Structure 1
Amino acid sequence: TPEMPVISSSSVLGLFFRGMILVFDSLSFSQVTILYNQFKHYYEEVNGPAQIDESENFGGSLMDSITKETERLTCSALGRESSHLGGTKSESGGYFSHKQAEYFISRQGFLLQHNEKEAMSPKELQTQISNMLQSNPALAEAHFLSYMNNLRVKEYCTAVHNLFHCFDRNTNFTDVNLANKTVEEDVSRRYASLNLAGLHFRFGHKEEALAALQEAIRMAQETNDHVCLQHALSWLHRIEDAGNARTASLIARSVDKSEEMSLPNITSLSVQALAKHNAFFTARPSSVIEYMLKSDILNCQHSQPHFMCVSYAQKAALWHMYGKRESSSMCSQLVLNLDTSEGGIYHNGESVCLALCNIARIFADEGNYVLALEVINNAKQRFPPQTQHAHLWMTYEQEIMFDRSLLSQKDELASQALTGLQALDEDEYRLRSGIFKKEKGDVSTALSTLTRLKEHVTTNSQKFSPEFPCRVMLALADLYIQTGNHISATSQILECVMKSEEHHLEYLHSLAAVYLAFVQLLMRLPEKGLSLLDRHMVTVLSHGSCLDRARTLYCYARCTVADGNRLSATDRKSSLLQAVNTMTTVIELFKKLDAHMRVKDATYYLARLYHELGYTAERNKCAYEFKQLDSQFPTHSQGTVLRL
């Protein structure tokens, strides 16, 4: 009634209606026609074609027709129309209002950054973006979402196309607010160049990335845009060649300037980049971890759970490089136990996948292959094959399968794992291919493969972490040991010792010392080998894998027995009994790994020890076990008998 209106003019709904009527009154005739057609399309997508006379409807009041038709919309119909915003599949696409499109872009962009699994699949998302652009062709953000979607599947051409379209749509061709237009377009151009540099860097186009980045820096310097300059600087030290003084200077400058400008995200990433740079180039581990601690403090102060995950994942990688497996495992577990929820969505990015893979590798190193594959399966569920980080668990899965198959003498499965690894990590494939050929007895091919790989690593040393060249040297040393070339083996081992000492890789240094002790044993210098083992064996037994611990104990037992030849009869027997206990532990460790050939070799050596002690029953038992193992796993290469 006029005395008591249903909607007050001063209420929220009344103000909304007044604003809507004012906007409608200001529309031109063509704009009213477009509005009518859009509402008609919106209605028919849900309820089917309207059974009304279009001419009569258009001839009356549009507000009346909208009110009448809105009353016919059911709640369930509105739910069906908005269902595509929640991430479910839309069969017909449908009309997106501007607000709906903005919400959809915001939601899917957030999911792509924080939890890709919860976002739509690449194909479905691209379909929805196409439907959205039909309704809102000038929506620049839709093109940027399409750009992010193409990055997921590494579609370079379409990604570049969408990136260009995104910033083209931000260009204002009218003369309204000319000053604001110029400022906005300058900002758009600067960040367009930054994004283009990031795109080229992601696809390995270094020169193109530097060119785009220099263009962004030039435009930012012209307008004194310090924030853009800091983003450009953080990209520059990633694109520049690692390992030189200029890169270190760029990172340090980025840390200082971003901290001064209160840009915590750039500061945190720059501190982590500086820690990584120092770790790869001979800095002490204490200073590296101290930098990582500064990053953790910064992330806690500014509530940046995503960067906390990245920090812990990087610390896990650093501890692994230094050979501290327990510390590495702890950091990976912290990544998985952090509360990273934001808007009900937990962060599920690259750091989480790396943490899962690291834990799987630690399980596999201990012979717990079932648990390792369970963790890999969890990573598969979190990161389906079409996601951008799926290659991480694929790589680790192939590595675990190769190691397991190689130890258990399943050459066909090991070859299949190598084939899968070749498409994922070329350098790791070349190293393991050389090891595989060495185990099969193809010495010449193995030597050629490993030698070429070492030359490649030496030429491109900045591309690799310090531990990878050491692994190549130890593989070459093992090959030389099997062929009886002790001088060349010693040369490779000493080179590995120098490299590991330079980069403070304590575990690899100790492992190289075990190889050197084994060479000294073969050269009939057991007392020197025993002295080396006494200094370095604790490190390997504390932080080594199951295989490394077993090989170290095996070498120690053989050195003890060989060195006991100069002892008295009583002391000699005592050293033999000690070696028997050690070999029992070695056999248990090898059995845990399903390393059948190594179990056979260790059983044979244990039988010889029992024979020297005069324990006939125990000797016969070991001889029987050896005979059974030899019938199942015959020795095809004489060189495998001489390996460590």
Structure 2
Amino acid sequence: MLTSYVTPYKVAIVALIILYCENEVPASHRIELMSRILPFVDGDAVLDGDIHDLEKLVEGIPARYGSLYQLLLERLWQIRCLDDLDSFVSSTDSYTRGSEDGEVAKIKPSSILGTYFRKCFLAFDELSFHRVSQLWDAYQAFLEPSRHQIPDQFLPVPTRSPLAESTDRISGIELPKSLMNSNNNNNNKNNVSMVSEQNLSSVMEGYAKDPANGQTNDDVKKVLDSLNSLSEKELLPPPVHYVKYLYASKECDYETAFECLHRYYDYAMDNRGRTDYQYALFSLAKLQAEFGAHNEALKAAQEAISVARENYDVDCLTRILAWVYSILSKNPSLQPPESLASKEQIAHFLRTKSGEVSLVLQAQSYLDHAQSAMVSSEPLVEVFESIVKSYHTTLKSDSRSKPNELNLVQAKLWSRLGVGPLATLFLSSATPGVVRARHFLIQGKPLLAIEALNSCKHKLLQEDQKQWLPAYTLLQCEIALSQHQLVDARRLVRQLMSLSWIDADTAEEANMCQIRLYMLSGEESLAAQTISFRLQSTIDRGMDVSYQIRYLLLQIRLLCNTGAPSRALSLAIRALLLAEKASLVVLALEALVLLASILTHMNYKNDALDLLDWAMPRILETDNAQLIDEAYKTLTAAGHVPS
């Protein structure tokens, strides 16, 4: 059940503080005890516990005579009825006031402990009789597990009704010992638990503001599960509904997510009005994006930005713009609404202003700029500068999640530069298996990619299955194509194309698998049409230039297979120049190997050998298995002299 503030655990903390004030704790342990108590009395960011948590709280701290925990239990078991509980809580007021004889108060009213005593006293004084009865039931249930640890003289004498006593006298039957030791408690009372609404709101609100700190926070999840047993008549604090929305969204339970989000803002808006409206719209935008309704999500974000500006909420405005930028980066085909600035202007705003709101946001803005610079073929100096700035800001912010993201970006950068071992070094064991699998796939090592995916399968949440399933299907398709299992490859390509939630990168990989399938099946005209369409589409949508080069390389292979190497020559030079300009070393070397193959077909074998002789050291550095295999085959063909 929920209570406004006072709970059995808080009563126990009050008793512990009283023992502290009565000098029952040796001087050598007083500071240690106070350091353990303070989190429960200074603020509301800690939830109450049970009797076992209380035992852990005072573990290792002695009393002046014996065990502090034993002394505390004796003091708590002396509260034998509801009147004793009322007298005990009322006595806290005397500790913050001096006596009439001029004795100084043991606790200053303005101190942290004095404030805590006052809050407990006022909260208990405001309870209705029904709530006080519930508190007493919860208090009995709270102490019950410690019954065997207390001498019999401290246990309350069981109370009997006059009718029961009369019946015993008449019948002369002795009552069973189990009834005599029942302490007037039944099984229902032993299951009573009580949660402070004020503490619950504070904990949940803190988690709602920054859920990334805990990622999958087991403690919060445990609290949510325990709240499910509360009566429907209990009105949960609004932050609880918001945290339930976060978990429902993570588990892809969108119906529950919508319901919890609606409840949260239905309750919260009554108290806060339009000052919180931007957060409601922002949450709605994120939920719609989870559905894949990105256009509707951007419209909700646009309205949220307008309200945030109206309320001068710079913090919320910056967070919304950071989210909008990430959505636009992941989906290049999307265009920001007309009322919003361009993507570049949003990025500039985040780099200059996000530091005033959050160092984590500023670090993310530098990281986003580094990735954008890579995609748009900007100078490498700018990419490295943004990565260093992000790393420096991350160290200042002491963030737990950003270093992993930094490693991913650096792995991507070194992979594009053709330094395969260094890229692998940045992909530590903490890196998600899906990301490591994609890296191994780019290196031409599909079996290692499958192993990476299988290693993380049992750890995945339902939310992560949306990433894992397309990646696994794509890898299976790559293996089927490399082994010329066309029937399996065709089935897997259809599966990939039918998935509605795949990201832009996976969609492009699926398109390339489809083109390779057409080429292996002898459908050259269909492959040529698809390549032409996809190549133009990537240019129009402003996709990563690497995709343009890869489509060009597929077109070169198609022309070589159809006996038109002279037409492929100009395309190979074009792909080489594009890759060199974008610092895509692996793709440049692949274009170079194709150029050598074309020269070999045109009987310019000496020129082909010169190219390969110059490129082989760099090719071996890439650690790309497919590229190395193809280079050796081309080298063999160029060096072969027919008899």
TM-score (norm 1): 0.65
State yes or no: 1:265 paired with 2:365: no
Aligned to 2:401, the other structure's residue is in SS state helix
Residue number in structure 2 paired with 1:443: 524
Q: Which amino acid aligns with 1:134?
A: E
Mark the CA change 1:506 to 1:133 in structure 2 (over 3 Å): closer, same or farther. Answer: farther
Quote the offset at 1:515 in angstroms. 0.8
Contact kept in structure 2, 1:289 and 1:315, CA below 8 Å? no
Q: Does 1:294 align with 2:386?
A: no
* Equivalent residue number for residue 278 of structure 2: 190
Pick closer, same or farther for the CA change 1:21–1:238 going to 2, 3 Å.
closer
Q: 1:142 aligns with which of 230, 237, 240?
A: 240
Q: Aligned partner of 1:482: which letter? A: N
In the TM superposition, what is the alpha-carbon distance from 1:526 to its structure 2 partner?
1.9
Q: SS in structure 1 opposite 2:532?
A: helix
Higher mean alpha-carbon deviation, 31-40 vs 418-427, is at: 31-40
CA root-mean-square deviation: 4.5
**SS state at 1:134 partner:** coil
CA 1:428–1:374: 2 relative to 1, 3 Å: closer
Match of 1:215 among 303, 306, 324: 303
Instruction: Note the alpha carbon deviations across 1:526-566, whole angstroms, 9 max, x for none.
Output: 2332333234333222205212111111112222235xxxx
Alignment partner for residue 500 of structure 1, among 579, 582, 587? Answer: 579
Separation (CA, whole Å) in 1 of partners of 2:569 and 2:189: 78
Aligned to 1:555: 634
Specify the alignment match of 1:255 in structure 2. Answer: 351
1:117–1:382 contact (8 Å) kept in structure 2:
no
| Partner residue, 2:514 | 433
| Structure 1 gap segments, 5+ residues each | 57-67, 83-94, 174-183, 338-350, 563-608, 613-644
Indicate yes or no: 2:114 matched with 1:33.
Answer: no
Residue pair 1:46, 1:77 contacting (<8 A) in 2 also:
no
- Number of the residue aligned with 2:266: 168
Q: What CA deviation, in whole Å up to 9, does each residue of 1:457-493 have, x standing for no partner?
A: 2332x2x322122222212221221111224433543
1-structure distance, mates of 2:230, 2:188: 22
Rounded to whole Å, the distance in 2 between the matches of 1:102 and 1:298 is 31
Residue matched to 2:408: 313
Paired letter, 1:283: E
Identity %: 19
Q: Are the equivalent residues in 1 in contact too, given 2:208–2:239 (CA < 8 A)?
A: no
The residue identity in structure 1 corresponding to 2:517 is F
Kindly provide the CA deviation profile for residues 99-153 of structure 1, in whole angstroms up to 9, marking residues without a partner as x: 685588579869974676675999x998766545825435211221232123224
Residues 482 and 360 of structure 1, relative CA distance in 2, 3 Å threshold: closer
**Matched letter for residue 198 of structure 1:** K
- In 1: Cα distance, 2:186 partner to 2:394 partner: 48
Question: Contact between 2:416 and 2:585, CA under 8 Å: does it hold in 1?
Answer: no
Aligned to 1:199: 287
Cα displacement (A) at 1:352: 3.1
Aligned pairs for 1:152-551 (under 5 A) are 152-156=250-254, 158-172=256-270, 184-239=272-327, 246-259=342-355, 261=356, 263-333=358-428, 336=429, 352-358=432-438, 360-361=440-441, 365-366=444-445, 369=447, 371-384=448-461, 386=462, 388-422=463-497, 423=499, 424=502, 425-460=506-541, 462=542, 464-551=543-630
CA distance in 2, matches of 1:377, 1:121: 29
Q: Structure 1 262/218 Cα, relative in aligned 2: closer, same or farther at 3 Å?
A: closer
In the TM superposition, residue 26 of structure 1 has moved relative to its aligned partner by: 3.2
The Cα shift of 1:382 comes to 2.5
Q: 1:34 to 1:197 in 2, by over 3 A?
A: same
Going from structure 1 to structure 2, the CA distance change for 1:43 and 1:487 (only over 3 Å counts) comes to farther
- For residue 53 of structure 2, what is the aligned residue in structure 1? none
Q: Of residues 197, 216, 220 in structure 2, which corresponds to 1:98?
A: 197
Aligned partners of 2:223, 2:551: CA distance in 1, in Å?
A: 44
Cα shift at 1:295: 0.7
- 1:436 counterpart letter in structure 2: L
CA apart distance, 1:518: 0.9
Given that residues 278 and 308 in structure 2 are in contact (C-alpha distance below 8 angstroms), is that contact kept between their aligned partners in structure 1?
Answer: yes
Contact 1:510 1:537 in 2 (8 A): no
Name the structure 1 match of 2:42. Answer: none
User: Retained in 2: the 8 A contact 1:323–1:505?
Assistant: yes
- What does residue range 572-587 of structure 1 map to in structure 2 within 5 Å? none
Residues 619 and 628 in structure 2, CA contact (< 8 A), matched pair in contact too: yes
Distance 2:196 2:233 in 1: 7
The separation in 2 between residues aligned to 1:15 and 1:309, in whole angstroms, is 42
C-alpha contact 1:329 1:358 (8 A) present in aligned 2 = no
| TM-superposed deviation, 1:522 | 1.0
Determine which structure has the larger helix proportion and give its number.
1
Q: What per-residue deviation string (whole Å, max 9, x for no partner) do you get for residues 593-625 of structure 1?
A: xxxxxxxxxxxxxxxx8xx5xxxxxxxxxxxxx
One-letter code aligned to 2:416:
M
Amino acid paired to 2:454 = N
The one-letter amino acid of 1:282's match is: S
Q: 2:159, 2:210 → 1: CA distance?
A: 42
* TM-score, normalised via structure 2 length: 0.65
Cα distance between partner residues in 2 of 1:226 and 1:110 = 15
Structure 2 vs 1, CA of residues 451 and 129 (structure 1 numbering), >3 Å: closer, same or farther? farther
**SS of equivalent to 2:352:** helix
Q: Are the equivalent residues in 1 in contact too, given 2:421–2:623 (CA < 8 A)?
A: no
Residue 620 of structure 1 aligns with which residue? Answer: none
Q: Which amino acid aligns with 1:217?
A: I
* Rounded Cα–Cα distance in structure 2 between residues aligned with 1:53 and 1:33: 22
Local SS of the residue matching 1:389: helix
